[in-house]
Amino acid sequence: MAPPTIAAMPGELHEATRGGALVPIPLEEPVDDPRRSDVDEWGRSERMRALARLLYGPVYRNWFRAEWEGLEKIPKTGGALLVANHAAPLPSDAPVIMHGIEEEVGRPVYGMAEHLFRAIPVVGTLWSRVGGVPADPDNAYRLLREQQQLALVFPEGTKGTGKTYDQRYQLRRFGRGGFVEIAMRAGVPIIPIAVVGGEESMPALFNMPGVAKLLGLPYLPVTANHLVLGPLLGTLVYFPSKFKLRVLDPVRFDVEPDQERYSKSRVMEAAEDIRLQLQDTLHDMLRSRKSVWFG
Amino acid sequence: MGKRVLVTGIGSFWGGRVAQALEKRDDVDVIIGLGTDEPRVELERTEFVRADSSYSILSRIVRATKVDTIVHTFLVVDSTRTSGRQLHETNVIGTMNLLAAAGAPESSVRHIVVKSSALVYGTSYQDPVWFREDTPRVGSVKTRVERSLLEVEGYLRDFALDSPQVAVTLMRFANVVGTDIVTPLSKALELPAVPAIFGFDPSLQFLEEDDVVRSIDFVVGRTTAGVFNVAGDGRLPWSEVAAICGKPLLPLPPLFTGAAVAPLGRLGLVDLPPETLGLLRYGRGVDNRRLKSAGFTYRYTSAGAIENFAQGMRLRSGLGQRPEPYRYQRDVENFFSHSPAVRRPT
C-alpha cells in the first residue's frame, strides 16, 4: 500500500495575494511618516501626560502638599536614573515624583514598574500613556543611554509596597543591584530621592497572602483606608499625609559604559551604599517631622 | 560568474516577487523557482519547477542545477491558511529537506536565506519594548505556527554550526502589509469596523511588502549572513492604525477573547488566530538596527506602511472589478524562455 501523501491544495499554503500589485506601487521617494497620535515607542503620550498633570495637580498641591528639597540636583539635560524608597500598596510616591519633576524641572520622567500592570485592561493602557514603562534592563538601557531620558525605579519593588505599616520607612533589600548595573552600563548617574509621607497615605495593616495568590497579585493587604472609607473607596483614596521629598547628590560611577558585565561585588556594594544613604536621609527627615499631616 | 539562485515558494507572494527582483540583477545568472503552485506574477527568466509541499525533490534539483544560493520563502506564517499537520509538513519537514540538500558533502550551496517571522518572539505582558535579535523570548510557546518556526530556527542554527562553508541568513519579518498581501491583520483592517480587545491599545510594528522584497534582494546580493529583524521604524497604537485606515474600532471582550472570536471565525466574519490576538493585546516591537547597520535602508516606516496600505484599500474600493491578473500558462512561458525566436538581451 502506498504511504498516505499529504497533498497540498493549490493556493492553500501561503499568504493569499490579490494577484499582482495595484497601480505602480514602488514609490520613488520614501513615504512620509503619517503619524496621527503622539504616542511614542514606550506608549507614552505627552497629551495624555498633560491631561494627567492637570487632573493630578490638585492632589499634588492640595492633598499631599508635596514639598521638595534639592530639586536643582536633577539635571536639565542628559540621562539619569532616579531611585526612591517605595511605599503604600497602591504606590502614591511614583505619581508625586513624576508630577513634581515634570512640573518643576520640565522634563519627562519614565516610571519603570512591574510588568503586571500591562496585563490589566484599561489600567495597563492608561499606565503606559502617562509614562509607565515595564521595568526591564533593555528598556532602561534604551531610555537612559540612547535617549538620555530620566527614568524612575524603585529598587525595593513589591517588597517595599507589600510591607505593612509597622515596618514603615524600613528600606527593604535593593534587589540584586540590577539598577546599579544598568546605570553603569548606560553611563548615567543615579540620583536617590528620599520620600516621606507615602507610608501614611495608605497604611497596610495586614496582608492576605492566600487571597493574593488566588488572584495572581503580588500582595493584597487590608489597609487603614479600607477601615475608614470602606472596601471600594478605601482601595483608591489616600489619606492626606504631607509629602516631603529630598533629592540626594548624584552618584556617579567611575567605570566604562557599555561593558558586557560589571563586577558583582562592586555593583552590590554601590547598591548597598545608596540604600544606606537613603535610609539615613529618611531617619533625618523623620527626626524633623512634627506631624504626619502637616510636616 | 554570476549567482545561481533557487527560490522556494515561487507560487507565493514572497517567492514570486523575490524572483522578479532577482531577475533584474546582472549578477544573477540563473533563477529556479520551486513551488507547489504556479507563479502568480509574471516572470521572465525564472525556471518554474513544481514540487510537493515537503520539497522531497529538492536534493535532486540542487545536485542537477548546482545552485549556490537558496532563498527559502516557503514557510507558512499565517496559520489561518492551513491545517496544523500541513503547517508542520511545510515548515519543518520542508526546511529539513532543504537543509539536507544544501548540506550534502558535494553540495554547491554557499548561501541560504530563510524567511522567518517576528512571531518567534511571541507576545506577553513581560516583553521588552524592543526585541533584539538575541533577546530571548519571554512568553511560553502556545501556538502551532510559532512552535514550527522555532523548530525551523533551531534546525537552521544547527545547520550553520555544522556547515561553516555556507553563509546562513535568518530574517525575521514583522507584520507585513501592502497592496497585495493578505494576512489576518490586513483582513481585520478591511472589515467595516476593526476588531480590538477592549482596554488594550497595543503598539504594533509594520513592514511594507516592497521592503520585504528589497531586504531579501539586499541580503542575496551581499551574501549578508546572520540573524536579522526586518521591520519598519517606529511602533504605533492599534487605534491609530485603524484611524489611518479610517475605520472605527470593534471592541472584543478582554476575557475569553478567543472563545468570543471563535463563532465569528466560523461565520467567516473575523479570522483571528491566537498569535494575532496576542498581538492585539500586547503588541510587539523588534529592533531593526542590525540590518540597517549592514547597509539596508527602509523605504517605509511602520506608519508609512499603514498609510500605503490604506491608500491601496481606498483605491480598490473606489475602482471597479479589475481584469483578471496574470495567469501562468506553461506553453506561453516555455515559448518565452526557450524559443529561439525570442530575442534576449545579451
Answer yes or no: are the C-beta atoms of A94 and A111 closer than 8 Å. yes
The beta-carbon neighbor of B180 closest among A5, A13, A18 is A18
User: What is the interface size between A and B, counted as CB pairs within 8 Å?
Assistant: 184
Q: How far B287 CA sits from the closest chain A CA (Å)?
A: 11
- Kindly report, residue by residue over A228-275, the tens digit of the pLDDT: 999 999 999 999 999 999 999 999 999 999 998 999 999 999 999 999
From chain A, the residues in CB contact with B203 under 8 A are: 39, 41, 43
Answer yes or no: are the C-beta atoms of B328 and B48 closer than 8 Å. yes
Tell me if B81 and A119 make a contact (CB, 8 A cut-off): no
Answer yes or no: are the C-beta atoms of A81 and A253 closer than 8 Å. no
- For this complex, say whether ipTM is above 0.90: no
Q: How many of the other CB atoms lie within 10 Å of CB of B315?
A: 12
Residue from B34, B36, B130 to probe the interface with A (highest A Cβ count within 10 Å): B36
Distance between CA atoms of A103 and A44, rounded to whole angstroms? 17
Q: Name residues whose C-beta falls within 8 Å of residue B24's C-beta, 6 or more positions apart in sequence.
A: none
Burial (CB < 10 A; 0-12, 13-18, 19+), residue A26, is exposed
- Predicted pLDDT at B77: 81
- The arithmetic mean of pLDDT across residues B32-60, rounded, is 86
Tell me if B200 and A121 make a contact (CB, 8 A cut-off): yes
Q: Residue A150 forms beta bridges with which residues? A: A80, A109
Encode burial over A184-193: b for 16+ CB neighbours within 10 A, e otherwise. bbbbbbbbbb
Answer yes or no: are the C-beta atoms of B232 and B205 closer than 8 Å. yes
- Predicted pLDDT at B59: 87
Residue A287 main-chain phi, psi, to 5 deg: -60, -40
Residue B209 main-chain phi, psi, to 5 deg: -60, -30
**Model confidence, pTM:** 0.89
Domains of chain B: 3-324 (3.40.50.720)
Nearest to A56 by CA among A21, A88, A98: A98
From chain B, the residues in CB contact with A123 under 8 A are: 199
Tell me if A25 and B210 make a contact (CB, 8 A cut-off): yes
Rg of chain A over all Cα atoms, to the nearest angstrom: 24
Nearest to B168 by CA among B99, B230, B108: B99
Please name the residue of chain B whose CA is at the shortest distance from the CA of residue A135.
Answer: B128
Q: Where are the beta strands (DSSP E) in chain B?
A: 3-8, 28-35, 46-50, 69-72, 111-117, 167-173, 175-177, 181-182, 194-197, 203-204, 206-208, 226-230, 236-237, 249-252
What the block records as the C-alpha cell of A217 is 497579585
Taking each helix axis from N to C end, the angle separating A264-287 and A178-186, rounded to the nearest 10 degrees, works out to: 110
From chain B, the residues in CB contact with A22 under 8 A are: 179-180, 312, 315-316
Tell me if A41 and B240 make a contact (CB, 8 A cut-off): no
B45 falls in which pLDDT band (50, 70, 90)?
Answer: confident
Q: CA triplet B36, B42, B43: central angle to 5 degrees? A: 80
The beta-carbon neighbor of A118 closest among B125, B210, B305 is B125
Q: State the DSSP H helix or E strand holding residue A95, giving kind and residue range, or none if neither.
A: helix A93-104
Residue from B10, B17, B18, B37 to probe the interface with A (highest A Cβ count within 10 Å): B37
SS3 call for B230: strand
- Predicted pLDDT at A22: 44
Lowest mean pLDDT among A2-6, A65-69, A208-212: A2-6
Q: Where are the beta strands (DSSP E) in A1-70?
A: 16-17, 67-69
Q: How far B126 CA sits from the closest chain A CA (Å)?
A: 5
Answer yes or no: are the C-beta atoms of B175 and B232 closer than 8 Å. no
Tell me if A36 and B244 make a contact (CB, 8 A cut-off): yes
- Kindly report, residue by residue over A30-59, the tens digit of the pLDDT: 566 688 889 999 999 999 999 999 999 999
The beta-carbon neighbor of B86 closest among A6, A27, A122 is A6
Answer yes or no: are the C-beta atoms of A142 and B130 closer than 8 Å. yes
Please name the residue of chain B whose CA is at the shortest distance from the CA of residue A26.
Answer: B210
The domain ranges of chain A are: 46-199+241-286
Distance between CA atoms of B14 and B78, rounded to whole angstroms? 13
pLDDT above 50 for A1: no
State the architecture of A46-199+241-286 in CATH terms: 3-Layer(aba) Sandwich (3.40)
Q: Residue A113 forms beta bridges with which residues? A: A134
- Kindly report, residue by residue over B172-191, the tens digit of the pLDDT: 999 999 888 888 999 999 99
Distance between CA atoms of B194 and B180, rounded to whole angstroms? 19
The beta-carbon neighbor of B299 closest among A30, A121, A134 is A30
Distance between CA atoms of B295 and B324, rounded to whole angstroms? 38
Q: Residue B181 forms beta bridges with which residues? A: A17
- Predicted pLDDT at A3: 37
User: What's chain A's length in residues?
Assistant: 295
Answer yes or no: are the C-beta atoms of A32 and B244 closer than 8 Å. no
Q: How far B303 CA sits from the closest chain A CA (Å)?
A: 6
Average pLDDT, chain A: 89
pLDDT above 80 for B255: yes
Distance between CA atoms of B270 and B253, rounded to whole angstroms? 14
SS3 call for B277: helix
Answer yes or no: are the C-beta atoms of B41 and B326 closer than 8 Å. yes
Q: How many of the other CB atoms lie within 10 Å of CB of A58?
A: 9
